[in-house]
Amino acid sequence: SSTLVTAGIYLMIRFNSMLMNSNLNKMLLTISLMTLMTASLAANYEYDMKKIIALSTLSQLGLMMMTLSISFYKLAFFHLIMHALFKALLFYCTGNIIHNMNSYQDIRYSGKNIKLLPMNTMFMNIAMMALCGLPFLTGFYSKDLILEIFSMNKINFLIYMLIYFSSGLTMSYSIRFIYFNLINKLIFKNLMNFYDEDLNLKKSMMTMSILSIIMGSLSNWMMNLIPLFIFLNFYKKMMIFILLFMGFIQGYLLFKMKFKQNNLNILINKIYFLSK
């Protein structure tokens, strides 16, 4: 499924000039922003590991389509490549956790993986931090540039705030995912078989984790895809780092709070008809 949606984004990149000539960019911006926001919101209320990553992929696709709507197709392609690196690593790590949990996908059954699967947990945290756009990891060089270009353009204030709110939600569900795997109390430990010594799997994870750390800076220096001078005032520049901090706090609160099954929870959790 990830291959198919990536092919769809690549097709939109190739036909971006035709898209801009048809004056559909405003409609594309609105739809992609709503996709980004609702997918990020649903990921914060989801408990299935695979569905959290699927919604994460959907939210990042919305971010790429937003970039296409303002005709920065090279930057969208750059984010597509960078996203593929750490998301592939995340699929590897999560698949290994699910396999060790005897196919239990509920994140509430997971926990204390830093002791049981130390290497896997380390690689997963690298992938999640790259997804958040932590400075100097792979995701930072594309995601930060996209947010800065949107900050520099003259767009509606509501759209501007929704973009930053949705990006903060990305940090939120990533921190929530990490906390459930690191701090949560492990349930049914005796029914699970934890094994972290597969050498072939470690080689693949190690390769992708190294690329998730250095590939963003290398690609940015070598390709120079966006030869622009981005001028922002101090507050807009610091907005991205404030966003990271607020998303961290929000993710921590979502982990600690005990949600009741209210109507809002049901609506957000079933927004894409993924949950029963």
Q: Name the nearest CA neighbour of 5 among 44, 42, 60, 78.
A: 60
Q: How far apart are CA 11 and CA 38, in angstroms?
A: 24
Q: How far apart are CA 131 and CA 78, in angstroms?
A: 14
Domain contains 30: yes
Domain contains 54: yes
Q: With contact defined as beta carbons under 8 Å apart, do 29 and 159 qualify?
A: yes
Give the whole-number percent of the chain exceeding pLDDT 90: 9
Domain contains 233: yes
Domain contains 154: yes
Of the pLDDT bands very low, low, confident and very high (cuts 50, 70, 90), residue 271 is: low
Q: How many CB atoms lie within 10 A of CB 123?
A: 25
Longest dimension (CA), the chain: 61
Of the pLDDT bands very low, low, confident and very high (cuts 50, 70, 90), residue 167 is: confident
The b/e string for 62-82 (b: 16+ C-beta within 10 A; e otherwise) is bbbbbbbbbebbebbbbbbeb
Q: With contact defined as beta carbons under 8 Å apart, do 48 and 106 qualify?
A: yes
Q: How far apart are CA 200 and CA 106, in angstroms?
A: 26
Of the pLDDT bands very low, low, confident and very high (cuts 50, 70, 90), residue 269 is: low
Instruction: Say which residues have a Cβ less than 8 Å from residue 150's Cβ, sequence separation at least 6.
Output: 66, 70, 160, 163
Instruction: Say which residues have a Cβ less than 8 Å from residue 211's Cβ, sequence separation at least 6.
Output: 85, 138
Q: With contact defined as beta carbons under 8 Å apart, do 47 and 108 qualify?
A: yes
Q: State mean pLDDT over 143-162.
A: 84
Domain contains 143: yes
Across-strand partners of 48? 106
Q: Name the nearest CA neighbour of 223 among 141, 162, 143.
A: 141
Of the pLDDT bands very low, low, confident and very high (cuts 50, 70, 90), residue 274 is: low
Domain contains 274: no
Q: Please tell me the total count of domains within the chain.
A: 1
Structure confidence by residue, pLDDT tens digits, 120-143: 889 999 999 999 888 888 888 888
Domain that holds residue 219: 2-269
Domain contains 276: no
Domain contains 275: no
Indicate the angle between helix axes 73-100 and 199-223, nearest 10 degrees.
Answer: 170
Q: For residue 149, which amino acid is it?
A: I
Is 261's pLDDT higher than 70? no
Structure confidence by residue, pLDDT tens digits, 19-58: 878 788 888 889 999 999 888 888 888 888 888 898 899 8
